[in-house]
C-alpha cells in the first residue's frame, strides 16, 4: 500500500531562514506521481508541484525547490529565504492508481511551518 511520511510535525523559523520539509514515501508502483500542497490558514489546499517518478531532476520555482531522490524514496521541499506568508501546513502526497485508470492521492500528515518576523 502507498504510504507517505512527513516526520516533521511542526517547524518554526525566523524570516529569511532557509527551511527544508521532508517527505519519504513507500510504493510498489514503478510509475507514480508525487505532489506538494500548501494549506494556508484560510484552509484551501493550493497545489505546488507534481513530479513524475521517471523525472529525477530537481525543480526550482522562485524561492521554492524540490529534491526528488528515488534511491532514498524522498521528495523534499526547500523554501529559501522564508517569509511570513509561507506560514502554512504543507502536505506531501503520492498517487495511487485506482479504478478506471484514475488516480487518488495518499497524503502525509502534514508539516506545520511557522515563519516568525
Partner 1 sequence: DVKVTQSSRYLVKRTGEKVFLECVQDMDHENMFWYRQDPGLGLRLIYFSYDVKMKEKGDIPEGYSVSREKKERFSLILESASTNQTSMYLCASSFLYRDRGSTEAFFGQGTRLTVV
Question: Which residues contact partner 1 by CB under 8 A?
Answer: 9, 31, 33, 35, 37, 42-45, 47, 50, 91, 95, 97-110
Of the pair 71, 99, the CB lying nearest partner 1 is at 99
Nearer to partner 1, 25 or 35 (CB): 35
**Smallest separation (angstroms) from partner 1 to the CB of 88:** 14
CB of 67 closer than 8 Å to CB of 58: yes
Q: Supply the minimum distance, in Å, between the C-beta of residue 100 and partner 1.
A: 4
Q: How far is the CB of 109 from partner 1 (least distance, A)?
A: 4
Minimum CB separation from partner 1 for residue 112, in Å?
Answer: 10
Q: Which residues, including other chains, have CB under 8 Å from residue 101's CB and lie 6 or more apart?
A: none
* Distance from C-alpha of 85 to C-alpha of 117, rounded to nearest angstrom: 10
Nearer of residues 18 and 26 to partner 1, judged by Cβ: 26
Neighbouring residues of 66: CB distance < 8 A, sequence distance ≥ 6: 36, 49, 51, 58, 59, 60, 75, 76, 77, 78
**Whether the Cβ atoms of residue 2 and residue 103 lie closer than 8 Å to each other:** no
Amino acid at each position: 500500500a502507498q504510504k507517505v511520511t512527513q516526520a516533521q510535525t511542526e517547524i518554526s523559523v525566523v524570516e529569511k531562514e532557509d527551511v527544508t520539509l521532508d517527505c519519504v514515501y513507500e510504493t510498489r508502483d514503478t510509475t507514480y506521481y508525487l505532489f506538494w500542497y500548501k494549506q494556508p490558514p484560510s484552509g484551501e489546499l493550493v497545489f505546488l508541484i507534481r513530479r513524475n517518478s521517471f523525472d529525477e531532476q530537481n525543480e526550482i520555482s522562485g524561492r521554492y525547490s524540490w529534491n526528488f531522490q528515488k534511491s532514498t524514496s524522498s521528495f523534499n521541499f526547500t523554501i529559501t529565504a522564508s517569509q511570513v506568508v509561507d506560514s502554512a501546513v504543507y502536505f506531501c502526497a503520492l498517487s495511487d492508481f485506482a479504478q478506471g485508470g484514475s488516480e487518488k492521492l495518499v497524503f502525509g500528515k502534514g508539516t506545520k511551518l511557522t515563519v516568525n518576523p
